[in-house]
């Protein structure tokens, strides 16, 4: 994808080695399309995760800029924390920032977020499921900004489901 002009690659001289990939402007133009494809999948393919499946909540968060097209009036930043989101059970943090007509995501804690939303993987699955059960999530800071973001991530049409969680079978 780097060769096709969809990603830029930045390599750091660190131990352990670290490489960052970032979407180019060309790839960013696809986010609304990816968001609509995800919504279609949420609507037509939702099923509860099976016990043998790994769950990547970050995959939904990474689609935030595409999913939040309808929530363009989101102004502010929200840190999303998955307490057991990384391999080995470590926490994973994502920062979604809305300003004007743009929504950006970074896979790191926010410096000064307007709100923080925290939960384990099971709580996030429940929150992003068609039932939108957010009782397992903890919200601190500006609740209105956090709710606007969560509504944008789970907004769907009139069919059965509004959201799903990408799953990868264990091997």
CATH of the domain at 71: 3.30.1050.10
Are 123 and 6 within 8 A, CB to CB?
A: no
Phi/psi of residue 125, nearest 5 degrees: -60, -45
Q: What is the number of domains present in the chain? A: 1
Phi/psi of residue 75, nearest 5 degrees: -120, 120
In a domain, residue 124? The reply is yes
In a domain, residue 113? The reply is yes
Q: What is the pLDDT of residue 60?
A: 84
Strand partners, 22: 8
Segments forming the whole domain that contains residue 128: 31-169
Give the C-alpha separation, 148 to 152, whole Å.
6
In a domain, residue 157? The reply is yes
In a domain, residue 17? The reply is no
Q: Digits of tens for pLDDT over the chain (171 positions)?
A: 888 888 888 998 988 888 888 878 888 888 888 888 887 877 787 788 888 888 888 888 888 888 776 556 678 899 999 998 777 777 899 998 888 777 888 889 999 999 999 999 999 988 888 888 999 999 999 999 898 888 888 765 434 433 344 444 433
Give the C-alpha separation, 124 to 117, whole Å.
10
In a domain, residue 130? The reply is yes
In a domain, residue 95? The reply is yes
In a domain, residue 22? The reply is no
Are 133 and 127 within 8 A, CB to CB?
A: yes
Give the C-alpha separation, 116 to 78, whole Å.
6
In a domain, residue 26? The reply is no
């Amino acid at each position: 994808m780097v060769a096709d002009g969809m990603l830029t690659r930045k390599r750091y001289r660190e131990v352990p080695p670290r490489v960052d990939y970032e979407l180019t402007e060309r790839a960013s133009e696809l986010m609304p399309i990816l968001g609509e494809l995800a919504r279609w999948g949420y609507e037509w393919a939702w099923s509860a995760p099976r016990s043998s499946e790994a769950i990547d909540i970050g995959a939904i968060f990474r689609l935030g800029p595409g999913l939040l097209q309808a929530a363009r009036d989101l102004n502010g930043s929200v840190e999303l924390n998955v307490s057991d989101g990384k391999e080995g059970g470590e926490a994973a943090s994502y920062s979604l920032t809305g300003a004007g007509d743009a929504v950006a995501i970074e896979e790191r804690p926010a410096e000064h977020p307007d709100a923080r939303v925290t939960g384990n993987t099971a709580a996030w699955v429940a929150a992003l499921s068609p039932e939108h059960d957010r009782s397992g999530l903890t919200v601190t800071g500006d609740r209105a900004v956090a709710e606007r973001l969560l509504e944008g991530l789970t907004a769907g049409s009139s069919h059965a489901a509004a959201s799903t969680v990408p799953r990868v079978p264990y091997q």
